[in-house]
């Protein structure tokens, strides 16, 4: 999971260059979201659906990851965010 985490954090830093992601985004909330969503995706998403990503070149993957990172609501993962 550490590779997934590193890619997510790098994508967020690229998508939000003016935000100090390390300071403002909670590692705990990111890790919690990864572990929750990952298990569901493994069950719900058929292997064939992943093929479109397997064949992307590096630059295409980078563009996609930054695009997806821009869709993230950073407030959901704010390090001072209170879940209650």
**What confidence score (pLDDT) does residue 81 get?**
55
| pLDDT given for residue 51 in this prediction | 87
Which of 64, 62, 77, 80 has the alpha carbon at shortest distance from 29? 77
Taking the alpha carbons at both ends of the chain, their separation in whole angstroms is 26
Q: What is the pLDDT of residues 31-74, one digit of tens each?
A: 898 888 888 888 898 988 888 888 999 999 999 999 999 999 99
Contact 21, 9 (CB under 8 A): yes
Contacts by 36-42, CB closer than 8 A, 24 or more apart: 38/1, 38/4
Gap between the Cα atoms of 14 and 8, Å rounded: 10
Residue 1 pLDDT class (50, 70, 90 cuts): low
Is 80 a residue whose pLDDT tops 70?
A: yes
Would the pTM of this model clear 0.85, i.e. be above it?
no
């Amino acid at each position: 999971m550490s590779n997934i985490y590193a890619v997510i954090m790098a994508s967020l830093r690229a998508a939000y260059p003016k935000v100090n992601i390390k300071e403002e985004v909670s590692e705990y909330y990111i890790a919690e979201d990864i572990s929750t969503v990952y298990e569901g995706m493994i069950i719900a998403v058929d292997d064939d659906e992943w093929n479109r990503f397997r064949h992307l070149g590096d630059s295409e993957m980078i563009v996609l990851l930054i695009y997806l990172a821009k869709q993230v609501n950073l407030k959901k993962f704010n390090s001072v965010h209170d879940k209650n």
